[in-house]
Structure 1
């Protein structure tokens, strides 16, 4: 295929580099918060929503579910799907937040737990930033409160010296707080949530006070059930949550749709080529991941060994996004097998010894013999050599 040059397109104006934002112009965020990125949809839903809303909710439970699952409003406004999956899962999650039970989103890596958590908080409270990111080093202060030590030393303990956690702020404002990767947090820090979730209060012993949760407060936590994190939840804490398991996409078509949608959203923010140009490659990436994940080819004829990685939908999105960037900056803008091969290798081969053998066997036994996959086979062999 010949790529037209300047002489072939005389009517096309020369492209100019993007202008630098002026000192008074705020630079665009690389990843806007959900309430900012989808502000128009949330506004349209609020205007059309005539159903009862729980106290301090921005939308009714029906409108929150519509925001996540997508739909068309009576005025013709199209609400884009944020989550592709069973409707009942979303309805149960939203209903949980309307009660006094906290919500735990459980699933293997890459099942959109964080994505759903963020959009739920944005739709319910209009603010998804009241967030505690769980790690093995998350301290108790991140869950309860800390102190401004300069004020503490100068004036002694008092409300002015108190540094509230996101959870404390959510309790005081009647909003939705989020805790990501709850099972990554040390067990003794996890259990600071027991009083918050059962008594709806956060004691401040140093001041002889407490912060009581205002109506509208609730908490969404996410947890990974594949590697179990660092610490299991205590039975006392788990009882305080209503658990909703987010499954992997049920069909290849659903997974291709999810990957295409998310890559398109990410690509627009990075000025990458449109996804429709690479749908065939997206389908091949999804096919490879699903077959290795499930341990059998799509036709059910060949059993396969599964590598140590999860090969989740999120990893497929990452592979395709990286491939689009390669195509845009070092190719002709069209996603091809050579653009995704290295990303697939990195996702599959986590254990250099065992996983590499599994990948080589898959290439030779499945990819090499599959009709229409010769270019994919050659590209994967090249980066695997």
Structure 2
């Protein structure tokens, strides 16, 4: 809501003392303006349009009006250093398109999927390892399994196989962040069920949840991928992935 962006009130103090700086509860945007700090606005396109548009005066005039207060306290001016970094997922569904007026107040930078396979594997492995440690898992992810995971995500995301041929792509958001989530789920599953890192069977089980949460057709596409694309590939983990394809039957 707009209150969560600008400010709200401590109603106990508001009733006993009336509007004052003591009863005012600044929201992150107001705090960022008062302290001259960067404000990160996560998933801005998930906000209703009227809430998005409440940012217009903040970004243009760099001031918040607090009509309940009197005197100089009724206007909060942004200090040097204040700015807003907003994020949005362009592939996500059910979002509210930003108005043209709000778009003019931002500089846009599109972050594309990581083009280099080795870089993406290293990133997924590092982030998954950090998450696993926080979950009490001491076993590091298997590098070969991470390579299979990231390669699978890249192919299902782009609709292009390793040999350059076209294939079915999933409608689900097969992002690097989603790959990290699957790697974490694999590690937790493998560690707490068997006391070892996640393997290809865990990967198939976790991929089923990723593919099925948006569209039932994605589960069929994933099954075709495991049956047709993975079958002829070399490597122990690719063979194990193909051998575990039956785990999708219950999906």
Q: CA deviation at 1:154?
A: 2.0
Q: CA deviation at 1:238?
A: 1.0
TM-score by length of 1: 0.61
Q: How does 1:1-385 map to 2 (within 5 A)?
A: 139-208=1-70, 209-227=74-92, 229-275=94-140, 278-301=142-165, 303-351=166-214, 353-372=216-235, 373-385=238-250
Q: Secondary structure at the match of 1:319?
A: helix
Change (3 A) 1:383 1:353: closer
Q: Secondary structure at the match of 1:382?
A: helix
Q: Identify which range, 242-251 or 367-376, moves more after superposition.
A: 367-376
Aligned 8 A contact 1:307 1:349 in 2: no
**Residues of 1 paired with 2:14 and 2:234: CA distance?**
71
Q: CA deviation at 1:222?
A: 0.8
Q: Which segments of structure 1 move beyond 3 Å, counting only runs of 4 or more?
A: none
Change (3 A) 1:270 1:375: same
Cα deviation digits, residues 41-99 of structure 1 (max 9, x gap): xxxxxxxxxxxxxxxxxxxxxxxxxxxxxxxxxxxxxxxxxxxxxxxxxxxxxxxxxxx
**Residues of 2 paired with 1:229 and 1:200: CA distance?**
30
Cα deviation digits, residues 204-224 of structure 1 (max 9, x gap): 122241100111211111111
Aligned 8 A contact 1:171 1:212 in 2: yes
Q: Secondary structure at the match of 1:202?
A: strand
Partner of 1:87: none
The alignment covers a number of residue pairs equal to 245
Change (3 A) 1:317 1:181: same
Cα deviation digits, residues 247-276 of structure 1 (max 9, x gap): 11112112111101111222222332343x
Q: CA deviation at 1:227?
A: 2.5
In the alignment, structure 1 segments of 5+ residues that lack a partner are: 1-138
**Residues of 2 paired with 1:192 and 1:367: CA distance?**
50
Q: CA deviation at 1:185?
A: 0.5
Q: Identify which range, 229-238 or 168-177, moves more after superposition.
A: 229-238
Which structure dedicates a bigger proportion of its chain to helix? 2
In the alignment, structure 2 segments of 5+ residues that lack a partner are: none
**Residues of 1 paired with 2:195 and 2:20: CA distance?**
62
Change (3 A) 1:234 1:180: same
Cα deviation digits, residues 311-346 of structure 1 (max 9, x gap): 111111111111111222222423321222211111
Computed over aligned residues only, the root mean square deviation of the Cα atoms, in angstroms, reads 1.7
Change (3 A) 1:321 1:357: same
Change (3 A) 1:283 1:204: same
Q: CA deviation at 1:368?
A: 2.0
Partner of 1:131: none
Q: Secondary structure at the match of 1:237?
A: helix
TM-score by length of 2: 0.91
Aligned 8 A contact 2:226 2:241 in 1: no
